[in-house]
Structure 1
Amino acid sequence: MLKTQNDLNISDAEWEVMRIVWTLNHAGSGQIIDQLQEKNNWTESTIKTLLRRLCQKGYLKTEKDGRKFIYSATVGQTEMMYEETKALLDKMCDMHKGQLLIKLMKDMPISKSDLKTLNQEITKKEKSAPDKVDCNCLPGMDC
């Protein structure tokens, strides 16, 4: 389970580091530095600071392998994406979340396998879904 939203606070730069670690499963600091310098032109000290912060936040763990450190994620990419997205959606009007999901589906790449799973989930959800979702912004309002 991830930390609370107050503890989550992961910067865009930290996301970049995590994406590399998730892709490689585990990576030496040299690999991470090489990838980020190629992509972002960041200094080695900046990248090491990001790695240290992610370890302090508990998102990365390290193992020493001789003279180098090997980093691995303590949380899965999908779980972290879910927590971050859910925290954002929790700030929005319930009434408009369905429209947002529809727009996101139209705009993002998605596999046939994921579409099949989504269809199954929609069929299940449809059985208990209300005809209309109420606004939760202000009491008595219908935005």
Structure 2
Amino acid sequence: MSAKVEISNAEWEIMRLLWTLKSATSRQLTKLLSAKFQWKTATVKTLLRRLADKKIVRIEKNGRAFTYYPNVPEQETIEHQLMDSVGKICQMHVGKTLDEVIKEVPLTQNDIARLQETLKVKSKNAPTELECNCLSCSQSKS
């Protein structure tokens, strides 16, 4: 995976549109986002500027309008976001948390088959227990 990308919840909404549309003007994005969130043009432009400053979107000037393009791959960005969240959980709770996520999210037959294969491979070297990796536990071992 490439460098870690920090995206706020509001910025995610814009990125989801840009990844889907492949490119858009601020006017197009405002029209779509104002219908869902009642966002004003200034809000969308502020978020686009932040994303551009972070190099997450690329801007091209076309006459008087600016066109925005995603500058980071969608799947890698999703994986970074998820791994960042998982990294904040005590590793003793990650398995149960993933189990709960799998129970709740819709999955295709192909998704399930891929997960089963991944777990089959992973189980060959998996320990029977994981140690707590919380700060308080790691300090008490020192």
Could you tell me the TM-score, scaled by structure 1's length?
0.88
Alignment partner, residue 110 of structure 2: 113
How do 1:76-87 residues align onto structure 2 when only pairs under 5 Å count?
A: 76-87=73-84
SS in 1 for 2:69: strand
How far apart in 2 are the matches of 1:18 and 1:42? 15
- Note the 1:22-37 alignment, pairs <5 A: 22-37=19-34
**Matching residue within 41, 49, 52 for 2:49:** 52
Residues in 2 aligned to 1:116 and 1:65: alpha-carbon distance in whole angstroms:
45
The separation in 2 between residues aligned to 1:47 and 1:20, in whole angstroms, is 12
State the Cα distance separating 1:130 from its structure 2 match: 0.8
* AA in 2 matched with 1:105: I
The answer as to whether partners of 2:27 and 2:41 remain within 8 angstroms in 1 is no
Q: Could you tell me which residue of structure 2 aligns to residue 12 of structure 1?
A: 9
State the Cα deviation string for residues 86-141 of structure 1 (Å, max 9, x = none).
11211211111000000000001111111111111111101111111121220498
Deviation at 1:65, TM superposition (A): 2.0
How many residue pairs are counted as aligned between the two chains?
137
Contact 2:51 2:57 in 1 (8 A): yes
> Moved runs in structure 1, 4+ residues, more than 4 A?
none
Question: Which residue identity lines up with residue 2 of structure 1 in the other structure?
Answer: A
* Match for residue 104 of structure 1 among 101, 106, 125: 101
- Root-mean-square deviation over aligned CA pairs: 1.6
What is the TM-score when the length of structure 2 is the normalising length? 0.89
Q: Any idea what SS the aligned residue of 1:83 has? A: helix
* Stretch deviating more after TM superposition (95-104 or 78-87): 78-87
Give % identity.
38
Kindly provide the amino acid, as one letter, of the partner of residue 68 in structure 1.
A
Q: What secondary structure, in the 3-state scheme, does the structure 2 residue paired with 1:23 have?
A: helix
